[in-house]
Each structure stands twice: as structure tokens, then as C-alpha cells.
Amino acid sequence: MSDQMEHSRERLQAGIRTAEVHLKDASSHVESAVEHGIEVLDQQCTEALAKCDASRAKADEAGVRMTHFLAEAKDQAIAKFEDWKTDRDIAKLEKHADNAEQQALDALELAAFAIIEAEVAVVEALRARKVAIEVAG
């Protein structure tokens, strides 16, 4: 396997692993909600919000890149593929591969951020339910 392919594979796998970690975090909050009191849920919410804030800038950058990529892809996709079919220009193929890889990484970054936001929502919902149950007696 070429070094570039291996590097691409590693970057994409890292993005997927990051999203999986965030999803597991959100899932663990749901699974342990009954066992924990409001204080623990408050702490989990604070931690989830901190992760969300820390990831927001990267997600915003990825979102901007994704928007640009999609606009460019929409405008140039048919012409690019027709050109590649006829002349197989390696530079064009490399650029397309780089752009596609970056688009995939940006999509994974946005997915990871969405999962972090979902984690915040999950913890806030669990806390609200716990408060409602405790107040109701």
C-alpha cells in the first residue's frame, strides 16, 4: 500500500475513532443516569459543555471547508470527471483525492461535534428528568 494511501487511511480512521469515543461518552451517560444524582449529572453536563466549547472552533472550520467543498464539487464535478476519463491527468486525480479526503475528514469532524452536542443534550435531559422526579417526590 502506498504511503499516501496509508496516511489517508490513518487520518480517516482517527476521525472515526474520535466520533466513536464521543458517541460512547453520550451512551455511558444514558446507561448510568439512574445510578447518579443531580450533582454527578451537573458535573457530566459541565464536562460535556467544555468538550463542546473546545470542539466548536474546529467544527466551525470544518463546516466552512465543507461548504466550500460542496459548492466547488457542485460546480465542477461533471467537467472534472469527463476530463479525467479522457486524459487521466495525475495532478487532477491527486487534487481530487486530496479534496475528497479533506471532505471526509471535515464530515467526520462535524459528526464528532454533533455527537458532542448530542452528549450535552443527553446529560441536560437526564438532569432535567432527575430534578423533576426528585421534586415530584
Query: What string of H, E and C letters represents the secondary structure of 1-30?
Result: CCHHHHHHHHHHHHHHHHHHHHHHHHHHHH
What are the two backbone dihedrals, phi and then psi, of residue 134, each rounded to the nearest 5 degrees? -70, -40
Lowest-confidence segment of 26-30, 67-71, 83-87, 117-121 by average pLDDT: 83-87
Q: What pLDDT is stored for residue 110 in this prediction?
A: 92
CA distance 64 to 79: 24
What are the two backbone dihedrals, phi and then psi, of residue 131, each rounded to the nearest 5 degrees? -60, -45
pTM, rounded to two decimals: 0.61
pLDDT single digits (tens) 46-80: 988 898 898 889 889 988 988 888 888 778 877 76
Over residues 103-109, the mean pLDDT reads 89
Would you say 45 and 124 are in contact if contact means Cβ atoms under 8 Å apart?
yes
pLDDT single digits (tens) 91-100: 777 888 899 8
Residue 104 has pLDDT above 70, yes or no: yes
Q: What pLDDT is stored for residue 69 in this prediction?
A: 80
The domain segmentation of the chain, as residue ranges, is 3-136
